[in-house]
Amino acid sequence: MKANPQESQSLVLIVDDEPFIRMILRNFLEREAYQIVEARNGIEALTMYNKVHPDIVLLDAIMPDMDGFECCTQLQILDCSKHIPVLMITGLEDEESVDRAFEVGAMDYITKPIHWPVLRQRVKRLIQQSQLQQKLEAVNLELQRLVTIDGLTEVANRRGFEEYFYQEWQRMKREQQPLSLILCDVDFFKSYNDTYGHRVGDRCLIKIAQAIKDIVKRPGDLVARYGGEEFAVILPNTDTQGATYVAEKICDAVRKLAIPHQNSQVSRHVTISAGFTTVIPQLNSDLEEMFAAADRALYQAKKAGRDRFVH
Ligand code: GH3
Ligand code: MG
Ligand code: MG
Ligand code: MG
């Protein structure tokens, strides 16, 4: 029974100090349509691993320079997230060696003389498991990303906002750097919905989110929709002057979208109000107080006539 086509492209790293063992393993696995690379000891194996990133490592235990146990330990350190399948193939049959092999991260263990049908199945299964594991990890990462993204506007959602705000708050506290938070709220948006309908309202929010994203582009900055028609911008390492610049540009960009709003009481177009605050987080200060300060500034902007920012 041959390996299936997907596995046939898999790359096997054979590590053994005996040329004869390497040769018979190579011959057998090449017949199974695997690609093969070889190493003569642990040190060569690590170099080769870094160079070609094989799908599986067949690892002898006793070798000069660096043995299989040490090599396996080092492989886990190199790529701890990738779950490299290491299959130990060794003459050592004692309990201690078996235990040690699994402790240092080997995924499977077979003894010499090699039972070829068993080897074939183990190699096949280990590669399949590792590929499945990698796919699951990719799906998991994507899911983690999705739960922090707002489905409508594709900026961060409230959860993404809260996680990032907390993270950057802690970082700015450690680094004693200024953190700025801008809160934006669309003016008279209830009447916008009442006038144009909820779907047009949604499209308006998408445009506003995009306009904000186009301005807030520095790596480390985050745009979020933290409420219905409320957006937040987190600006790490940004002082009052920087935040003033960004807040002004955001208000201006929304004005320039020139989205008609015939029932707005401040303009013929959709506008936003914004409030921001800048702090260097201290040990005894807390981030809810920072959020509340930005919210108070936003309220002041509303009270002062909307279509403006206050800090
Ligand atoms: P103000 O200038 O004081 O902010 O007035 P406002 O009408 O914007 O304030 P209010 O908080 O009373 O209304 C917010 C409105 O935003 C309520 C709701 O109709 C609308 N809204 C909230 N979330 C969404 C959404 O996801 N889609 C749409 N289309 N509208 C939303
Ligand atoms: Mg050996
Ligand atoms: Mg609101
Ligand atoms: Mg509003």
- Cβ contacts of 213 within 8 Å, gap of 6 or more: 155, 223
Q: Is 7 in the pocket of ligand 1 (CB under 6 A)?
A: no
CA of 31 to the centre of ligand 2 (A): 23
Looking at ligand 1, which residue's alpha carbon is closest to its atom 5?
A: 188
Biggest distance spanned by C-alpha atoms of the chain = 87
pLDDT value for 1: 46
Q: Is any atom of ligand 1 closer than 6 Å to the C-beta of 202?
A: yes
Whether ligand 1 lies within 6 angstroms of the CB of 228 is answered as yes
**Residue to probe by mutation, ligand 1, list 190, 230, 231, 263, most atoms within 8 Å of CB:** 190
pLDDT score at 267: 96
Q: Whose CA is nearest to atom 17 of ligand 1?
A: 190
Which residues on adjacent β-strands are paired with residue 35?
Answer: 11
- The 10 Å CB-count burial string (b at 16+, else e) for 53-76 is ebbbbbbbbebeebbbbebbebbe
How far, in Å, from the CA of 270 to the mean position of ligand 3? Answer: 14
Model confidence, pTM: 0.74
Indicate which residue's Cα is closest to atom 31 of ligand 1: 228
The predicted pLDDT at position 9 comes to: 84
Choice from 187, 188, 189, 295 to test ligand 1 binding pocket (greatest atom count within 8 A of CB): 189
Q: Is the CB of 303 under 6 A from ligand 1?
A: no
Rg (CA), the chain: 30
CB within 8 Å of 46: residues ≥ 6 apart: 66, 71, 74, 75, 78
Nearest atom in ligand 1 to the alpha carbon of residue 202 is: 29
Distance 270 CA to ligand 4 centre (A): 11
Token pair in block for residue 6: 């997907």
For the Cβ of 150 lying below 6 angstroms from any atom of ligand 1, the answer is no
Q: Which residues contact 32 (CB under 8 A, 6 or more apart)?
A: 2, 3, 8, 120, 123
Q: 98 vs 58, 103, 112, 145, CA distance in Å?
A: 15, 9, 13, 40
- Cα(229) to centroid(ligand 3), Å: 6
Our mutation pick for probing the ligand 1 site, out of 193, 195, 261, counting the most ligand atoms within 8 A of Cβ, is 193
> Residue 40 C-alpha to ligand 2 middle, in angstroms?
9
Residue 301 CB less than 6 A away from ligand 1: no
Is residue 281 within 8 Å of residue 179, measured between CB atoms?
yes
The residue assigned the tokens 């219905």 is: 228
So what's the pLDDT on residue 2? Answer: 47
Q: Which residues of the chain have pLDDT under 50?
A: 1-3, 5, 7
Does ligand 1 lie within 6 Å of residue 185's CB atom? yes
Q: Is 188 in the pocket of ligand 1 (CB under 6 A)?
A: yes
**Secondary structure of 122-161 as H, E, C letters:** HHHHHHHHHHHHHHHHHHHHHHHHHCCECCCCCCECHHHH
ipTM of the shown complex: 0.95
